[in-house]
């Protein structure tokens, strides 16, 4: 059985992906493979800037996305370390896998 801390971490990850726009944003960042500004993301996702910013905040808090300040803006990119842990988290939650040490350390990756 998962310990409470790990269960809370995984629940946060699943909550972060519970919105189709956040899934689109994460997919865009992952498939682009390069850091993007909010404006660049807005152009591709076709929702407003404030909506994209709000979704990026949630994805950043869940650590799926990293934000790097650049002057007056920020560049957003996928946190490869956390994203690589997510499929394992789904398997563990569904009882199909063993919790590897790396999955627990993903929560602190930045």
Q: Tell me: the pLDDT tens digits for 18-39?
A: 999 999 999 999 999 899 999 9
Q: Angle CA(102)–CA(5)–CA(24) in degrees, nearest 5?
A: 65
Domain range summary for the chain, segments of one domain joined by +: 4-108
Say how far apart CA 93 and CA 20 lie, in whole Å.
21
Q: Identify the pLDDT of residue 110.
A: 40
- Cβ atoms 65, 79 nearer than 8 A: yes
Q: What is the 3-state secondary structure (H, E, C) of 41-102?
A: HHHHHCCCHHHHHHHHHHHHHCCCEEEEEECCEEEEEECHHHHHHHHHHHHHHCCCCCCCHH
Q: 4-108 maps to which CATH number?
A: 1.10.10.10
51-103 pLDDT, tens digit each: 999 999 999 999 999 999 999 999 999 998 876 777 677 777 777 766 554 45
Q: Identify the pLDDT of residue 2.
A: 82
């Amino acid at each position: 059985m998962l310990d409470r801390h790990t269960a809370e971490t995984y629940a946060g990850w699943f909550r972060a992906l519970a919105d189709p726009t956040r899934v689109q944003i994460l997919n865009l960042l992952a498939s682009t493979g390069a850091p993007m500004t909010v404006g660049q993301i807005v152009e591709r996702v076709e929702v407003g800037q404030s909506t994209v910013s709000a979704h990026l905040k949630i994805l950043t808090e869940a650590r799926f996305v990293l934000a790097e300040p650049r002057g007056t803006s920020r560049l957003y990119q996928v946190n490869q370390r956390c994203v690589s842990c997510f499929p394992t988290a789904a398997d563990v939650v569904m009882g199909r896998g063993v919790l590897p040490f790396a999955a627990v350390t993903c929560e602190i990756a930045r």
